[in-house]
Structure formats: C-alpha cells, structure tokens
Amino acid sequence: MAANDSDTYVTYFCATCNGNNTETEAKAYCAKCDSCFCDGCVRLHSQGFQNHTTDGPEKMEKWPVAMATQEFLENCEVHKGKKFALFCEDHSQLCCHTCDLSHRQCSKVTPIANTTLSAADDQQLSAEINTILDQLMKLQTYWKSNLESLQVSYKKRLLDVKRMRERINAALDDLEKTTLKEMDEVKASWNASLMLDVDTCSRLRSELTRLSDAVQEIGTKNKKNAELAFIAFQKSEYI
C-alpha cells in the first residue's frame, strides 16, 4: 500500500517478478491462477495459458484484495503478529485470540468467519468513510491554514521585536552619548575648580611657610625687627 497527499491507493505486485525478488507493479490479474502479472509477464502468461482470461486495471473490482490491504485490516494493533479472528458484540470490538482472553465473560463473542455484511451495510460504511474523509480533509485544510497564519504572524512579530530592539539600541546609544558628554563637562568644570583650589593651597602654603621662616628669622630684638614682625603678623591675617 502506498499513500498520496489526499488519496490512498493499493499497489499490486507481479507474482512472477516477486518470486525473483523484484517488485514490479502488476497490470493484470488471472482468476484461474489467482495471480497478478506485470506487462511483460502477462504476455508470457497469455502465450502459455491461452484459455486463461486476465482482467486489467479497468476491471480491478475482480482483483483480489491486495496483500498489504489484507494485512492492514487483519492484523491486531495491540498484539503484533496476531490476526483478528473474533468479534465481541458486547464491546463492538475486533479481537485476536489473545484479545479473547479479556472477553471470556462477554455474552457474545462470534468468529469473524460466521459474520456477514449486507450490501446495504457495505454501502453505508463506504458513505460514512467518505463523509469522515471529507471532514478530515476540511479539518486538515483548516489547520494547515492556521499553521500558515501562525507562521505569518510569527514572522511579523519577530520583525516587530527586531525593530523595537533597533529603536531601543539607538535610544541607548543617544543616552550614552548625552550622558558621557554631560559627565565630561562636569569633570572638566570640577577639574578646573579643583586645580585652582590645589594651586591656591600650594601658593598659600608656600607663602605661609616663607612667612613663618621670616618670623623665626627676624624675632623682636630691636625696633626694626619689631616693625618687620608687625608687618609679618598683618600679612598672616589676610593670606
């Protein structure tokens, strides 16, 4: 069995080629041989069995159920390697012989071989399956549309975030430049003021040191020195 985007179709393989470990798609079925054949093998079959009638793809309703389809339907999903053999009517559940162990207390467990499906039931099943397939297709289209819308919305939001980041970065750059400029101006102003204070302190310290030395040198031994001492005292008052 192979799957396409919206359709599921069955592939039949040529029995002759398959016997030679080659998978070749079958193009005809012989009911007497109960085998399918590819284009090349069906010609050889027709030559060897001229009284056999083969049916092509246009009469596929006469072909048997493909092995892949048969395995898909018969195999138990719970117990691998087991095939459905029973039907529990109490639970409306298909059962293999291993599943049957859980249905021993059920009132009616019937072998599948004893069940029948009317033509009306078959038609109803096909109609229900087609309805469900249509609904699933609509749901798939709907969710695919939502997925595409999500991708568009995601890309738009991602672009918005990147643009916002760029604006924030630009604002931070401007703030950094303005702040650094203001800090440089404050630093320069304070630097000039502090340098002036340092120079003034240095000058005053130098003058006071010189004045101190002068006071120590002149003393008050005579009138002249007394005058110099007075001058030194007055200078110290306004330094």
- Tens-digit pLDDT profile for residues 80-131: 888 898 899 888 889 998 887 888 889 888 888 887 765 566 678 778 888 9
Structure confidence at residue 73 (pLDDT): 83
Residue-by-residue pLDDT tens, the chain, 239 positions: 333 343 444 578 888 888 788 888 888 999 899 888 999 999 999 888 989 989 888 887 788 776 667 777 888 988 888 889 889 988 888 999 888 788 888 988 888 888 776 556 667 877 888 899 899 999 999 999 999 999 999 999 999 999 999 999 999 999 999 999 999 999 999 999 999 999 989 988 888 888 787 777 776 555 566 676 777 667 666 65
DSSP string of 44-72, one letter each residue: HHHHH-TT--EE-GGGGGGSPPPHHHHHH
Structure confidence at residue 6 (pLDDT): 37
Q: Which amino acid is at 129?
A: I
Domain boundaries, the chain: 1-74, 76-115, 141-238
- Angle 119-218/223-238 helices, nearest 10 degrees? 160
Location of structure tokens 């630009």: 170
- Cα 170 to Cα 177: distance, rounded to the nearest angstrom: 11
| Token output for 162 | 């990147």
| Token output for 80 | 């691998």
Contact criterion met (CB below 8 Å) for 38 and 56: no
Task: Report which DSSP code applies to 31.
Answer: T
Contacts 24+ apart (CB under 8 A), 198-205: 204/239
